[in-house]
Structure 1
Amino acid sequence: MREFHTADEVRAAEAVLFEQVAEGVPMQRAAYGLAVVCAAELRARTGGVVGRRVCLLVGSGDNGGDALWAGSMLRRRGAAVTALLLAPEKAHAKGLAALRASGGRVMTDLFGDEHRGALADADLVVDGIVGISGRGPLRPDAARVVADIEAPIVAADLPSGVDPDTGDVSGPAVRADVTVSFGALKPVHALAAEHCGRIEFVPIGLAPPPAGLRALEPGEVGALWPVPDARADKYSQGVVGVCAGSARYPGAGVLCTSAAVAATSGMVRYAGSGADQVLARSPEVVAAPAVAETGRVQAWVFGPGSGTDDAALDTLRRVLASDVPVLIDADGLTMLAQHPDLVRGRSAPTVLTPHAGEFERLTGTAPGPDRVGAVREFASRWGVTALLKGRATLIAAPDGPVLVNEAGGSWAATAGAGDVLSGIIGALLSTGLEPALAAAAGTRAHALAANLAASTAAGSAGLVVGSAPAPISADVLLAQVRAAIAVLRAQATGE
């Protein structure tokens, strides 16, 4: 399990560490790790370190000190290093002395020709403007400096201008190519990954307490995934009921049901008006015209393309009156916004999967900058497992940590992709997985399927992997679900 620690948690762990080791040791460890990553980045991009030009953007905090010490190490390895001091009177004294002693240059005139030349000539820029105590966007002078950067950026601990705890970007901010995290991953690294770039972790001896924001590793997802054993049959592996689609939106039923079929080896029962279309795509599905005629299931999925008329509301009531886990999405969420009493107090688990607009309809308030806090409060207040969609999808149960899945891209931002996600998670719920884990595992497989689909081009001989990523449709995403599961299973088994 990967954990993401808040600024307060990191500071508390640092206070303990500072009592255990000599002064300056944690910063030296961080700076050395930063220098190693910068050297590797220079070699990868330019072929070497000696003679390459590095520009440090140095603020008043410890991240500025980390950058200065790292700059001195790079200078001793033959790089030409220039530090631009954004707050000269507050720059880290020992780090500044180390840089000067190594032969590095120091500049305080941020807007002269020399400053512009240092940035224009740089092979690499190190962002040490603010640290985990920083809040809000870059200040005007820093924003003007950052706007002039064309070289790759390596951020010290986090990209400046991005909130460390929420990932909120409310104005000018650094968009790094690589972020070097010191001692502990922070929420920003999952919630604002597009500003962090590749994450490199450097241990410095911190031992923070268990975090409230966590992510399943790919191997953990693969190990959770249900697969048939020697005594398995179609009933023992989970029977999921899908009530989705309508005359107006028949495709929702097809996508949701087909995703459930792809996700596990159990049985999928379909209830609705789209049986002909569903069976044309997935003949193994057992179809019925209504929920009352479906037969026994171990979980329900309701809502994608179902409509919001009186008949749909009656069906939602019937599904929620069952004693099995229920996942509600799309039109089902729209109806719940008017009838929240239908889920509050259910004895069986309920999973709600809103995007930001649906979340606002359900709660009356947009998620806001603190998405983690918002989804945690929603899950607790409604007594449900809540999945808030986004590039960083958040899953919260009424208690316990919030789980996050950073998708690595936004290829799944396409019509119908949510229907596929609902089918995957619903199938996992029917196997008995705990709801938050089912939601997190399904989200991970869904994101991976989207990334695989985006990196796959249609060729005359079939699908050819390895081409440049390109926009996808939900149907193309669906076609990669089994491949994504296979990748995750391989991570678990080491194959």
Structure 2
Amino acid sequence: MMLNLLKRQIVMKHFYFSQFSKYSKMDRNNFFNLLLPSIPPLDGTHHKGQAGRIGIVGGSLEYTGAPYFAGMAALKVGADLVHIFCSNPAATVIKSYSPELIVHPLLDKLDAIKEISPWLERLHVIVIGPGLGRDPKIFNVVSDLIKLISEKQIPLIIDADGLFLITENPELIRNFTSPIILTPNKIEFERLSCKLNGLTGLQELNKNVTLLRKGMTDEFYCFNTDLEWKNKEAGSGRRCGGQGDLLSGSIATFLHWTIASREKINLDIPVDKMLLATSLSCFAASSLIRTCNAKAFQVKGRSMLATDMVEYIHEAFTELYGQ
């Protein structure tokens, strides 16, 4: 037991301290200068769906709020359409929360992959995990779904119980050529780092995998240390449920925008444009949700809920990005 504890401490020391030795090009002003041109203008030139068609895979009998928060964040940031793929017991409840969400009760069907597959062609980015639960049968379906998403090269964000699945079976994301963003909190981060031998193991698994560690300070890690950053602006001490779901949904919309505009985004050093787009999208969403958190906390204090934060997305977006 002591040997395992020592190994864990060594892994975590490597993970925390070795990745910021280089000077990062991603300072705050540079972020905003790079990001702003990717935000679709509200000038009437876009058709419905062009600003983002997002898929959320999650929602179970016990957890119906998480996919709702992820979906509403994606929409309020600026995506046009959100599809939620959930288990049957969760569908009616999620639909009752909002008429804007397109809800598919397919995860627990016998032919789930066959039913879901045609919808994937329509989606720009997929989020797996909010409210997913840990039913082994659902995990089998989601594992097959991840393989299909990999084949179709759709950008993927993995959060919550999706991270538990990946920690149990990291091979699911080994062959991805499209961007993958893992969004662990402190406990999820520790599980991943111990399983994968820190960031080195993650990079050896797949250089397209990036990681946004959520906490008092949000930290972004990727294959290119020039694109890494830390963000501790705004936020509050309130840690109510749903904040991570708001973050994952926000990342999804920003990720579509930055990928679609990646050839227009130029850093003063040669970088992989997909990694740059991923770094920008995570920073944009981190800044937005932390600002929402600060604004809602100023009004609600200890009583603040994720629902309160949703109401500040527009105000925070306008304050940060000016449109």
TM-score of the alignment, normalized to the shorter chain, above 0.5:
yes
2:146 corresponds, among 297, 312, 319, to 319
Partner residue of 2:219? 394
Displacement after TM superposition at 1:379 (Å): 4.8
CA distance in 1, matches of 2:154, 2:71: 18
Partner residue of 1:17? none
Please list the CA deviations of residues 291-332 of structure 1 after superposition, one character each: whole Å capped at 9, or x if unmatched. 336452111001011012223223322134212001000101
Q: Tell me which amino acid in the other structure corresponds to 1:247.
A: L
SS state of the match for residue 73, structure 2?
helix
Q: Tell me which amino acid in the other structure corresponds to 1:356.
A: K
Partner residue of 1:454? 297
Superposition pairs of residues 409-488 of structure 1, within 5 angstroms: 409-411=235-237, 413-433=239-259, 434-457=277-300, 469-488=301-320
Q: Tell me which amino acid in the other structure corresponds to 2:140.
A: D
TM-score (norm 1): 0.50
Displacement after TM superposition at 1:213 (Å): 6.9
The runs of at least 4 aligned residues of structure 1 exceeding 6 Å deviation read: none
1:358 corresponds, among 184, 188, 207, to 188
Q: Tell me which amino acid in the other structure corresponds to 1:211.
A: Y
Displacement after TM superposition at 1:456 (Å): 2.0
CA distance in 1, matches of 2:238, 2:172: 30
1:266 aligns with 2:80: yes
Partner residue of 2:102? 286
Q: Tell me which amino acid in the other structure corresponds to 1:444.
A: S
Please list the CA deviations of residues 238-291 of structure 1 after superposition, one character each: whole Å capped at 9, or x if unmatched. 211011221111111211111111111421111113333333333122222233
Name the one with the larger helix percent. 2
CA distance in 1, matches of 2:47, 2:237: 35
Q: Which has the higher contact order (CA 8 A, sep 6+)?
A: 2
Structure 1 gap segments, 5+ residues each: 1-165, 168-186, 188-208, 368-373, 458-468
Q: Tell me which amino acid in the other structure corresponds to 1:357.
A: I
Report if the CA contact (8 A) 1:305-1:330 is conserved. Answer: yes
Q: Tell me which amino acid in the other structure corresponds to 1:476.
A: D
Displacement after TM superposition at 1:487 (Å): 0.8
Please list the CA deviations of residues 115-152 of structure 1 after superposition, one character each: whole Å capped at 9, or x if unmatched. xxxxxxxxxxxxxxxxxxxxxxxxxxxxxxxxxxxxxx
Report if the CA contact (8 A) 1:269-1:285 is conserved. Answer: yes
Displacement after TM superposition at 1:236 (Å): 1.4
Q: Tell me which amino acid in the other structure corresponds to 1:286.
A: I
SS state of the match for residue 99, structure 2?
coil
1:489 aligns with 2:321: yes
Inter-CA distance 226–444: structure 2 relative to 1 (3 Å threshold) = farther
Report if the CA contact (8 A) 1:261-1:267 is conserved. Answer: yes
Q: Tell me which amino acid in the other structure corresponds to 1:451.
A: A
1:346 aligns with 2:176: yes
Inter-CA distance 409–285: structure 2 relative to 1 (3 Å threshold) = closer
Report if the CA contact (8 A) 2:258-2:280 is conserved. Answer: no
1:256 corresponds, among 70, 80, 88, to 70
Report if the CA contact (8 A) 2:254-2:281 is conserved. Answer: yes
Instruction: Quote the RMSD (CA, aligned, Å).
Output: 2.8
Inter-CA distance 409–230: structure 2 relative to 1 (3 Å threshold) = closer
Superposition pairs of residues 25-424 of structure 1, within 5 angstroms: 211-212=23-24, 214-217=26-29, 219-220=32-33, 222=36, 224-273=38-87, 274-290=90-106, 291-292=116-117, 294-295=119-120, 296-317=122-143, 318-322=145-149, 323-364=153-194, 377=200, 379-383=202-206, 384-401=209-226, 402-411=228-237, 413-424=239-250
Matched pairs, number: 268
Please list the CA deviations of residues 343-392 of structure 1 after superposition, one character each: whole Å capped at 9, or x if unmatched. 1121111110011211221221799xxxxxx55x4652332011111121
Report if the CA contact (8 A) 2:22-2:225 is conserved. Answer: no
Report if the CA contact (8 A) 2:131-2:161 is conserved. Answer: yes
Please list the CA deviations of residues 446-473 of structure 1 after superposition, one character each: whole Å capped at 9, or x if unmatched. 100101111124xxxxxxxxxxx54521
CA distance in 2, matches of 1:429, 1:332: 19
Q: Tell me which amino acid in the other structure corresponds to 1:319.
A: I
Report if the CA contact (8 A) 1:300-1:319 is conserved. Answer: no
Name the one with the larger strand percent. 1
SS state of the match for residue 398, structure 1?
coil
Q: Tell me which amino acid in the other structure corresponds to 1:349.
A: P
Structure 2 gap segments, 5+ residues each: 1-15, 107-115, 260-276
CA distance in 2, matches of 1:294, 1:275: 17
SS state of the match for residue 46, structure 2?
coil
